[in-house]
Structures are given as structure tokens and as C-alpha cells.
Structure 1
Amino acid sequence: MTLPTEPEPPAAPPTPPPPATTVAVGDSARPGGGDGILSAEGSAPPLRLMVLDQRFLAPFAALSVLLGVLWLVRGVLVPLLFVAVLTFLGAPLVARIERRGWPRSLGAGLFLLGGTLLLLGLSALVVPPLLRDVALVLERAPEALRGAVAALERLLGVTLPRTLSDLTGSASRDLLQRLSPMAEKGGALVGEGALGLARGAASAAGMLAQALLVPVITFFVLTELPGVKRVIVDVSPPRARAWGARYAPLVEESLSALVRGQLTVAALMAVLYAIGLLVSGVPAALAIAVLAGAAYLIPFASASVAFVLSAAFALLERGLGGGPAILGALITCVVVQFVEGYLLTPRIVGEKAGLSPLATLLAVLFGGTAAGFLGVLFALPVGAVLAVILREEVQRHRTSGPVPTADTASTATASSLFFSSAAPSAAEPDA
């Protein structure tokens, strides 16, 4: 006999799945609200970065590769820098001669001949007075030093040593005792000294060979420049050609203005230094002026070279009596730097080629830290190229935005701190 069982309760209906929420990236809407990842079709559209897109990163990747190659061949960078400067200076003359129907080799030869004659003329103008002034300073230096020592004795109320024995005293005997063991190794020291002299002679010979190769390489570069450009265009991929067509003219214009403008400013500064130092009565004023003008090519070095050399020559020749000449040299350096910063560089170099003072200082600091003296030499050319690329990308980002916002305004303010506002631009060509 079976007992009746209770009927089982009916099974609950299956719970329907929650509705799928669709999202969109960027400006598309999402029916479900909130943020998401996938679009309505279930596919993930590509993310669009505001600034760091492929077009923005490609120039810097190419520039990084170029800097890496330059670092590998840094031993010949100084001659190549001179070749580049001479090429920028001579290219307009060679192109003008070519347009008249004459060969480019004739224009390159005339340019190098004129440059050689100019260099010889400057050497004849500077070297003989410099040697004469140096000989005069060396002749008067002992008397000036004796006068300086006497003045210090009167000022301090002490007696200073006049000879080497007075200076060393009993310490000279101790020094001789310490040097006696080294005398036994005299042969090895002589050998090391001879090896050092041989290395120095080899280094000097290498530098002379590089200096002689500079005009030869410059001649061939000026002669074959159109062919070199065509080869570079032919071997470049289409995207690189488009990038080069956009940036190459701007970079060439910026570097040309930088090179020609800085050489012109350096020459004018040499003239100003010569006038001021001659009026101040500084010995070897003409030679110091030429060196200070050439030092303008190294950022922030011109005034230091002018004042240090002027003070050294004045003290060596006149002792403490060279104070007026030193004061005149200081006033000259201040005036020349003021004229250079507010008149010569803005009007001759031009804002279209230069960086802002802050960007110039940062470029010199980074270049000197990364590569020493070579980094300082290449700081402004590399900075000018970076300024062109950054300026174009900032301008493209600024013009592609729908509505100017606070971020756009801050970008414009930041760019004005580093870049010159009147620089050439593909988006805003010069009138």
C-alpha cells in the first residue's frame, strides 16, 4: 500500500538575461548610460589620442635615429658641422650661379676661394697684433707682478715670498726626499712622456687632416647637392616623402637663417667689442674682440671670453694699475650684450630661426650634459629642428580642435615660452 505524495511545485521560469549595454568610444552615445568599451556593433573602434598619435611620434622617432647615428660618428662631428655651416652659406651663391647657366662646380670653387681669402685676411689682421701684444705683456708681466705683490704687502701688512726658495723653505727638502724614489723610475717616465708626445702629435696630425678635408667635402657637397636630394627622395617611402615635403623646407629655412644670422651677429659683435676695448685701453683689444665675436657661436660664452681675457691682459701688463681698463672692459661687455640681445639677434637672426631665451638655455644645458662640448655646439641647430617640428604639431593640434578651451590656451602659453611666435609655419605661411 503506497501513501499519496504531495505534488512537486512547478519550476520557476528561467530568468531572462540582462539587456546588453552598448557603449561607444569618443563622442558616440551609449543607450545603457555610463562608460564602456565596446560599440553597438560589438567591435572596439580604435582609440584616438589627442596629441601623441602616429603623425606626432614619427618625426621624433626619425630624429632619435638620426641622433643615435650622430652619436656613433661623434669623432667627426666637428668637421661635419663646419661642412654644414659652409654649405648653408654657399648654397644660395651656387644656386644663383647655376640659374645663370654656369656649372655648380664654378660657384662652389668661387665660394671656397672667397672664404679662403677672407680667412687669410682676418689672420693677417689679427695674428701679428696679437703676437706683438702677447710679447709686450710677457715682457712687462714680471714688473707688474712685483708691483702687485708690493701693493698686497702694504694692504695686508705682511711680507710675501719673492723667490721659490722663500716660498718653499724647508718644504723643498721634503719634496726632494719624496722625489728621489721617482728618480729611479726615470727611464719609464721618459718613455711614458715620449709616448704621450707621440699621441699628441698623432692627434694634431688627425685634426689637421680633418681641417684640410673640410673644404674638399664642402666642394663636393655644394656641387652634388641637387643629386643628393633626389636620391634621398627616391629611396624614401611615400609617407616619409610627405613628411619631408612638409618639414624639410621649414627646417632648411630655419637652419639657414640661424647660420647666416649668427655669423653676421658674430662679426658685428667683434666690431663693437673692438671699439669698446680700444677705448678702454685694454691690451690686445683687437685680438680679444675677434675671439669674443667668434665665441658668440657658443651660446652665452661671448661676454665671458671678452671679460676674462681683457682682465688677464690688463693685470699682466699693468698690475693693479689695470683697474680702469678692467672697468671699461666690464662696461663694454654689458653694453654689447644689451645691444646683441635686444637689437642684433631679433633683427638679424630673426624670431623665425631662433628659440626663446628659456629654450636656448635648456638646449645648451641638455646638450652640454649629454655630449659635452659637442653637445653645446649642436644645441642650437638641434633645438631649431625640434622647434620646427613641435611648432607644426602644436599648430596642427590647435587648429584641429573644435572650440578653443582652457587647455588650448595653456598650450599656446607654453609654446610661447619655448618657441618664437614669428617662426615659419606650414599652417600659417609668411605673408
Structure 2
Amino acid sequence: MVKKPILVELNYILYFLIALFGIMYVASSFLIPLTIGCLLAMLMIPVCRWLEERNFSRFAASSLSVFAMVVLLLGLSTLLVQQITSLSNDLSQLDERVSNVTSSAQDFLDDTVGVSKDQQQKYFAEQIDRFGEGVASYAALFVTQLGAFLVNFVIIVTYTLLLLNYRGRIKNFVLKLVERHTRGDLSGSTGKVVHEVATVANGYVAGVFLVVLILSVSSTIALFAIGVEHALLFGVLAGVLNIIPYLGSLLGSLIPVIYVLLTRDTLTYAVIVGAYFLIIQQIESYVLTPNITGGKIKVSPLFTILIVLFGNLVWGIAGMVLFIPLLGIAKVIFDHVPQLDAYSYLIAKK
């Protein structure tokens, strides 16, 4: 007699999760920009409050905050484009170096595997022909993706502005809704939950940007000191790509290492660059992220990894980034709902 209610409750939970993540998967094109807009709006709340305390209207404070954010992002994008353009000009002068590396690789394959240079060249020629046939489609895909990115950027900025402007009304709506369905039993704690949710999201997003800034500055200085050209580009890329959990840090370190291998006649510089990124990744993993962002979310490493992988399954790369603060927000709600305290205990860091 006891097992039946438990099974019924588990079925309800299972149905809810299937419906929730099914909707998130199907409506990803709508929910991803909205989620990013919500997180950015929570990040901008302290700035808006600071401006409102100086007699700015809510709309003026929201508009000025979002405008400053857009200018900062556009400035960073312009800087990266200029650096990438400069890098592409340098890479066009590396034909001889690339030819030597290719020739060495062909000699290695010929000696170890037994594949002759003629066979290798024939294979590469076939691959180049196939690639050439797909250049047009790749170009069309790039234009489409660029257009989609620009549209999503405008949508995210619009969401951020409107959410900041109407944040008071949204908060009051949540309070009224909870008070109506609980007859006032949870009305006192609901305001606290809303405040903690905003604090967690704000702290996490601000922490992520702080980690990116620290990594970008430190990597730029280190690469410049080592003598790597385009140190600013590689340093900023290493910091920005670190937003993508696990994969981003690896990619951010491989790009400068490969560049150094192509531009230097000795392996010493590549080894030094690789050693630096190995050290900085350990510092980021065990010092920066746990102390700057980990303290805001308070979720165990096990469930952090699980939610990152599950986020990739549902929303792709965006899910790997966004599902971590969403899990932190869910934990805040679990903490304040007695019926869900077991789930909070399960995913808690301590």
C-alpha cells in the first residue's frame, strides 16, 4: 500500500521532467535568447539601481545600461575582427612554412605507414576537390548563421531592455501569483526567493565575466612576454572561449600553440606556451572558478558536469553555458520549498 503513492509521485515527476525538457528542446530558438536576456538583465540590475538613485527614470537607466553593454560588446568584437584580419595577413605569408611541415608529414607517413607521396597527394587532391565543391554551400551557411546571430543579438538586447524596464511589474506578478495559489502562506518567503534568484544569477554571470577578464589579461601579458605575435587576440580568445565548459579552455590553448608551431623553427616556444596554458587552466579550475563563480551556484561538481552534458544535449553549446545558472536558480527554489528540500540536498555542494 505504501509503494503505490511513491510510484505515482515518481511518475508525476517523470512526466513533468519529460514535458519540461521536451518543451525546452522544441522551443530552443525562442527560449535561448530569452534566457540570455534574463541573465543579462539580472547582471545589469545593480547598474540600473545606481543610475535610478541619481534621479534617472527607470527607462532611461535601463536604456543607458543596455547601451553601455552593447558598446562594450561591439568594441570587443571590432577589436577581435581587427586582430583576426591582421592574423590572416600573416598566415598568407606562411605558405613556405606550411609546405615544409606538409612535406615532413608526408615523409613520416611514407617511412612509417608505407603510404607513398603520390598516393598522399592523390588523396589530398580528391579532398581539395570535394572541399571546393562545398565552398559555395559553406559560404551560404556562414551568411545564414551570421544573419541569425545578428537577429538573435538584436532580440537579446531587446529582451534585456524590456526586462530591466518591467522588472518591478514582473516581480509583483510573481508575488501576486504565489499569494493567490498559496492563500498567502508563502507570500513572505517568495520575495526572499525572488531576491536570492536574482542574486545567484547576477553573481554567477558577473563571476563568469570576471574570470574571462582575468584570463584574457593574464594570457595576453604572458603571451606578449613569451614573444608570441598577436598576443592580444590569442589572450582574449582564451578568455572568451573559457565560457564554454571543458571544450573552450582546450580550444583556447590549442590555437596559440598551433600558431607558434607554424611560425617558429623550434619547439621551445610551443612547449612554453603549452606549459603556460596548462598551468593557467589548473589555476582557473581549482582557484578562480570555484571561488568566483562556484560559491554563487553552490552545486556539487558531479551535478555541474551532468548539467553541462545535459545542457549540450538539449540546447547545444548554449545549454552548456546556460544550464549551470539555471540549476543554481532551481536550487534556490528547492531550498525554500519544504517538499523539494531532498532535491536541494542531493545537488548541494556541501
Structure-1-length-normalised TM-score: 0.65
**Counterpart amino acid of 1:382?**
L
Supply the AA of the counterpart residue of 2:232: L
- Post-superposition Cα deviations, 1:298-324, rounded to whole Å, max 9, x if no partner, equal 211332122221132223334xx2522
Amino acid at match of 1:312: I
Number of the residue aligned with 2:349: 420
On the 8 A contact 1:134/1:284 being kept in 2, the answer is no
Say whether the 8 Å CA contact 1:87–1:221 is kept in structure 2.
yes
Q: Is 1:85 matched up with 2:39? A: yes
Q: Describe the shift of the 1:59–1:160 C-alpha distance in structure 2 as closer, same or farther (beyond 3 A).
A: closer
Structure 2 distance, partners of 1:161, 1:145, is 19
Structure-2 residue corresponding to 1:310:
256
Cα deviation, residue 78, structure 1: 3.4
> For the pair shown, which has the larger CA radius of gyration, 1 or 2?
1
Report the equivalent of 2:181. 238
**For 1:276 and 1:145, how far apart are their aligned partners in 2?**
26
Q: Which amino acid aligns with 2:58?
A: R
Rate the CA distance shift 1:104–1:62 in 2: closer, same or farther, 3 A: farther
Q: How far 1:283 moved relative to its partner?
A: 3.9
- 2:330 maps to a residue whose letter is L
Q: Percent identity?
A: 22
Q: Within 2, Cα distance between the matches of 1:118 and 1:83?
A: 16
In structure 2, relative to structure 1, the CA distance for the partners of 1:283 and 1:199 (3 Å cut) is closer
Q: Are the counterparts in 2 of residues 299 and 364 from structure 1 also a CA contact under 8 Å? A: yes
Larger RCO: 1 or 2 (CA < 8 Å, sep 6+): 2
Question: Any conservation in 2 of the 1:271–1:289 contact (CA below 8 Å)?
Answer: yes
Distance apart, 1:264 and its partner CA: 0.8
Given candidates 77, 99, 123, the residue that maps to 1:146 is 99
| Structure 2 residue identity aligned to 1:143 | E
Post-superposition shift, 1:207?
3.2
The residue number in structure 2 matching 1:248 is 194
How far 1:282 sits from its partner (Å)? 3.5
CA distance in 2, matches of 1:57, 1:226: 37
Aligned in 2, Cα 1:358/1:240: closer, same or farther, shift over 3 Å?
farther
1:86-140 per-position Cα deviation (integer Å, ceiling 9, x unaligned)? 2012111212333444311111122122223322432344332332122112211
1:48–1:227 distance in 2 versus 1, CA, 3 Å: farther
For the Cα contact (< 8 Å) 1:262–1:349, is it kept in 2?
A: yes
User: In structure 1, what is the equivalent of residue 67 of structure 2?
Assistant: 113
Task: Please tell me the residue identity of whatever aligns with 1:298.
Answer: I
Which ranges in structure 2 are unaligned for 5 or more consecutive residues? none
**Of 388, 398, 402, the match for 2:332:** 388
- Secondary structure at the counterpart of residue 312 of structure 1: helix
Equivalences for 1:9-408 in 2 at 5 Å? 67-140=21-94, 142-152=95-105, 158=111, 167-168=121-122, 201=143, 204-236=146-178, 237-239=180-182, 242=186, 244-245=190-191, 247-318=193-264, 321=265, 323-391=267-335
2:160 partner amino acid: T
Give the Cα–Cα distance (whole angstroms) in 2 for the partners of residues 375 and 391 of structure 1: 23
Would the aligned equivalents of 2:48 and 2:58 in 1 still touch at CA under 8 Å? yes
- Partners in 2 of 1:397 and 1:53 — Cα distance? 19
Instruction: Give the 3 Å change call, closer, same or farther, for CA 261–157 of structure 1 in structure 2.
Output: closer
How far apart are the structure 1 equivalents of 2:335 and 2:15? 17
Partner of 1:17: none
How far apart, in 2, do the equivalents of 1:331 and 1:168 lie?
A: 38
TM-score (normalised: structure 2): 0.78
Amino acid at match of 1:80: L
CA contact (8 A) 1:90 1:111 kept: yes
Q: Which has the higher helix share?
A: 2
CA-atom RMSD in angstroms: 4.3
Query: CA deviation digits over 1:406-431, x for unaligned, max 9?
Result: xxxxx99x74xx4233xxxxxxxxxx
Question: For 1:168 and 1:154, how far apart are their aligned partners in 2?
Answer: 15
Q: Provide closer, same or farther for how the CA distance between residues 213 and 394 of structure 1 changes in structure 2, counting only shifts above 3 A.
A: closer
Could you tell me which residue of structure 2 aligns to residue 19 of structure 1?
none
